[in-house]
Amino acid sequence: MLTGYGVAVFFLGLSFGGIMAYSIENTMVDGIEVITYRPNQPKFKTPLVFQHGAWHGAWCWKYWQELFAEWGWVSHAHSLPSHGKSAHKPPIRLCTMGLYRDTLKAQVDRCERPPVVIGHSMGGMITQWYLQKYGELPAVVLLASIPLYEYPWRYLKLDPLRMLRASLTFSGSPFVDTPAQVKKMFLTEGALMSAEDLHKRMDSESLLVTLSLNPLVWHPRNDVKTPTLVMAAEKDGLFPVAEEKALAEFYHGDFYVIPDTAHNAMIERSYQESANYLHDWLVGNGIE
């Protein structure tokens, strides 16, 4: 079921060639929030699907979606169940990686043709789960992604007290409970969003997701043919560059380190440079 809550709001964006008009469409599809940026004169036939990570929503892609719309790409960003403006069902504590993967699959299927999927953080793992079950795509981009596997002790090492609170409540909220903590995990000084603003936008997150990402229950495909770009953030406090490089090697993909950038690369000061690199990579890989 498709319902709209402010469809086709027009903006003017600056492009390399001057002024390009594009629309922003905000829709609800079966309870899932979808934000679409659509150039009036698209230059590329292949759409982009932006998949957010833990605690975030479709809103986090705003600056990249604006840039790619200016360059002529149609893009869709959706909020997972119980994130952003999507319906809060099931309760966040009961959300699973399988549910998130199938939410991505539904968005891919809604596209007019097979899209490129760009997944950030947990969204990168959701993208890997998509490839494992549903097969190939024109290309995928894993941005500051959860690596091949994830373990609770990463967060225990990050903050033992918050990990204890998260375990007792079965909720990821303790890890984003203050602006200072949000800044520590996601941002460098001078990011496009302040730690206070980012903190206000944060949702909780399901611990079931992390528990399903170990080798006992999750087995990534080692024969993926989809062209893959792994983009690591040099100052990422969650997923070190070495782990991201190993992720690129596993998928026989290309690897790029975004300099002087924290985990939330798409809202960091370097967002234009990293988006430019991605754009050039897509074109260089024959994405039309």
Predicted confidence band at 225 (pLDDT cuts at 50, 70, 90)? very high
φ, ψ of residue 9 to 5 degrees: the values are -90, 125
Cα–Cα distance between 62 and 271 in angstroms, integer? 11
Give the residue, 158 or 236, on which the prediction is more confident.
236
Give the residue, 18 or 126, on which the prediction is more confident.
126
Query: Does the pLDDT at position 84 exceed 50?
Result: yes
Residues of the chain with pLDDT > 90, as a percent, come to 80
State both tokens at 241: 């560059």
φ, ψ of residue 228 to 5 degrees: the values are -130, 135
User: Cβ of 59: how many Cβ atoms within 10 Å?
Assistant: 17
Cα–Cα distance between 248 and 265 in angstroms, integer? 18
Query: Does the pLDDT at position 243 exceed 90?
Result: yes
Query: How high is the pLDDT of residue 20?
Result: 52
26 with 35: CB under 8 angstroms? yes
For 56, 80, 207, the CA distances from 93, given in Å and listed in that order, are 15, 13, 7
Domains, the chain, ranges and CATH?
41-284 (3.40.50.1820)
State both tokens at 40: 């009036």
Query: How high is the pLDDT of residue 5?
Result: 40
Within 13 Å of residue 28, how many CA atoms lie on the same side as its CB? 13
Whole-model pTM over 0.85 = yes
What amino acid is encoded at 240 in this protein?
A: P
Arithmetic mean of pLDDT, 75-91:
96
- pLDDT (tens digit, 9 = 90+) per residue, 158-211? 788 888 888 888 888 888 999 999 999 999 999 999 999 999 999 999 988 988
Query: How high is the pLDDT of residue 14?
Result: 44
Within 13 Å of residue 179, how many CA atoms lie on the same side as its CB? 8
Cα–Cα distance between 48 and 148 in angstroms, integer? 23
Query: How high is the pLDDT of residue 174?
Result: 87
Within 13 Å of residue 115, how many CA atoms lie on the same side as its CB? 25
Query: Does the pLDDT at position 94 exceed 90?
Result: yes
